[in-house]
Amino acid sequence: MKNKTLNTRILGKSGISVTEIGMGLWAAGGDQWGATEDQEIFDAIDFALDSGVTFFDTADVYGGGHSEELLGQSMQGRRDRFIVATKIGWRDFDGEAGQSAYTTVEKLIAGVESNLRRLQTDYIDLIQSHIDFRDPTMEIIVEGFQRLQRDGKVRAYGVSTSDFDYLKAFNADGGCAALQIDYSILHRMPESDILPYCQEQNIGVIVRGALAMGILTGKFNEETRFGEGDFRRSWHEEPDQWAVYLDDLQKVEQLRPLVNDPSADNRTLAQLALQFTLAHPAVTTVIPGAKNVRQMHDNVAAGLLPPLTPAEIAAIDAIVPPGGGRKIWPA
């Protein structure tokens, strides 16, 4: 892999070029994936940059804004090296009313100004609605994003959702530049309708969940337990989730021969999973999370490996058919 560089793709109608492998910063917040060390996050971001990664994705609710703050600190003096995507919508979400706090365009714009302050920048490359179902504020959010785009505060806007109807409503006027969606070997349902729609509408696709929240690393088993502050603890506490988890583990075992084969270019199971998402023509970039340099190194390495062969994809199809797999969980 020496002297190889990460490939880039254009993020839909935004025209923004991003690396196929990005960095997801959900875990960097330190509140839902177990404890993190700020310096390790800074080091991982530095490693990503030095490896050619350009795309970094965060959100206002990750660590109550701490993830954005860390990214903002990392960008100082070198903002031009970062393509920054962040999200808004869940912060101060009113569960009883079933809507975000952004009930006027002015409130939405003020909310994005808070994103900008935490990121210590005067523009965001991609702002995304974080609400993953249709709520009464959707039209307000779209209008606010469009005004911010006209004012130069954001370069493009999109949505993070797995709800096809919501995506179509959000893109009603054709302005949505990107979709962030959960898609993996274990969750191939978007292939049936959402991904073809994105190709038709020139909507860039940002893949989250490519490692199925860690399951596709192959490091988990029935005895695995998660620590305090890790939302995955619920997998062992909810019978329905436990059943899905066990089924996923069985599929992972069926995938192992694909990485144990001598001709598999020394891929790890996680790298196979990342390469699988990039094999779909609708996908622009994949954003696996990383809490340290080691994890970021493994993610970058996936982008430097040869693409999956037709035979490897056919073998995956035999385990989880195209368009098949489980529904995502937790929601």
Question: Which CATH number do you get for residue 37?
Answer: 3.20.20.100
- Tokens 């988990």 found at: 220
Domain assignment present for 330: no
User: How does residue 67 score in pLDDT terms, banded at 50, 70 and 90?
Assistant: very high
pLDDT, tens only, 178-213: 999 999 999 999 999 999 999 999 999 999 999 988
Domain assignment present for 228: yes
pLDDT over 50 (residue 331): no
Domain assignment present for 20: yes
pLDDT, tens only, 164-182: 999 999 999 999 999 999 9
Judged by DSSP in three states, 315 sits in: helix
| Amino acid 330: pLDDT | 43
Domain assignment present for 325: no
Domain assignment present for 25: yes
Task: Give the active site residues.
Answer: 62
Task: Report the domain count for the chain.
Answer: 1
Domain that holds residue 36: 8-319
Nearest to 105 by CA among 51, 148, 166: 148
Query: The pTM is what?
Result: 0.92
Cβ distance 54 to 8 under 8 Å? yes
Cα 22–73–44 angle (5° rounding)? Answer: 40
pLDDT, tens only, 206-263: 999 999 888 999 888 877 777 776 767 777 777 787 888 888 999 999 999 998 766 6
Domain assignment present for 223: yes
| Amino acid 263: pLDDT | 62
Domain assignment present for 73: yes
